[in-house]
Structure 1
Amino acid sequence: MTKVHDLLHVLDQITGGRCVRDIGDIFSGRNKFVVNKTSNIPGKACMETPGLVCGNLDAEVKKIAVTMTLTECNIELAGATGVDAIVAHHPIVEAANSGGVTMRNYLELYGLSVFELHEAFHGLHPGIAFIHGHKAFRVDIAYGGIPGNILYVGRAVDEVKTLGDILDRLDAFMGIDEEKRMLFAERNSRCCDSIIETNVATGGKILLGARDNPVNTIIHIFPHTGFTPAHLEKVKSEHPEADTLLASISRMGADSALVAKARELGMNVIIGNSHAMEILENGLPLAYAIKRLLPDVEVVLFRERITSTPIAMAGSSVIRDYAADIAERFLLPNANKVS
Structure 2
Amino acid sequence: MSHPVLVKDILKALDIITGGRVVKSYADITGGNHFVTIKTSHIPGKSVMELPGLIWGNPEREVRRLAVMMTMTENAIELAGATGIDALVVHHPIAEGANSGGVTLKNYLDLYNLVAFELHEAFHGLHPGIAWLHGSVAKQANIAFGGIPGKIVWYGEAMAEVPTLGAMIERIEKIMGTAIEENMLAEEKKHRCCGHLCETTVSARAKIFAGSPDSTLGRTITIFPHTGFGPEDLEKAYAEYPADTVVANISRPLPDSGLVEKARELGMNFVAGSSHAMEIFENGVPLAFALKYQLPDLEVLIFRERMVSIPIEMVGTEELRDYGSRMARGYLPRPKA
- TM-score, normalised to structure 2's length? 0.97
Query: 1:324 aligns to what?
Result: 325
Counterparts of residues 177-326 of structure 1 (less than 5 Å): 177-240=179-242, 242-326=243-327
1:74-223 matched pairs, under 5 angstroms: 74-223=76-225
Please, which runs of 5 or more residues in structure 2 have no aligned partner? none
TM-superposed CA distance for 1:334, in Å, is 5.2
1:255 Cα offset (Å): 1.3
User: CA deviation digits over 1:229-277, x for unaligned, max 9?
Assistant: 111111111222x111110101001211111111111111111000110
Q: Which residue of 2 aligns with 1:17?
A: 20
CA RMSD, aligned part only? 1.0
The runs of at least 4 consecutive aligned structure 1 residues that moved more than 3 Å come to: none
User: In 2, Cα distance between the equivalents of 1:334 and 1:328?
Assistant: 12
How many residues are aligned here?
333
1:119 is paired with a residue whose SS is: coil
CA distance in 2 between partners of 1:215 and 1:288 (Å): 30
Q: Distance in 1 between matches of 2:109 and 2:241?
A: 48
Distance, in Å, in 1 between the alignment partners of 2:26 and 2:115 is 17
CA contact (8 A) 1:146 1:226 kept: no
3-state secondary structure, aligned to 2:125: coil
> Normalising by the residue count of structure 1, what TM-score does the alignment of the two structures yield?
0.97
Matched residues in 2 for 1:202 and 1:157: separation?
Answer: 24
Note if contact 1:133-1:156 (Cα within 8 Å) is conserved in structure 2.
yes
Residues 54-85 of structure 1, C-alpha deviations (whole Å, 9 max, x = no match): 11111110000000000011110000000000
Q: 2:251, 2:262 → 1: CA distance?
A: 18
State the distance in 2 between where 1:293 and 1:316 align: 46
Cα distance between partner residues in 1 of 2:306 and 2:244:
34
Residue aligned with 1:230, SS: helix
Task: Compute the displacement of 1:24 (Å).
Answer: 2.1
Matched letter for residue 143 of structure 2:
I
| 1:25 positional shift | 1.1
Return the letter of the residue paired with 1:95: G
Distance across 2 between alignment mates of 1:184 and 1:254: 26
The percent of aligned pairs where both chains have the same amino acid is 56
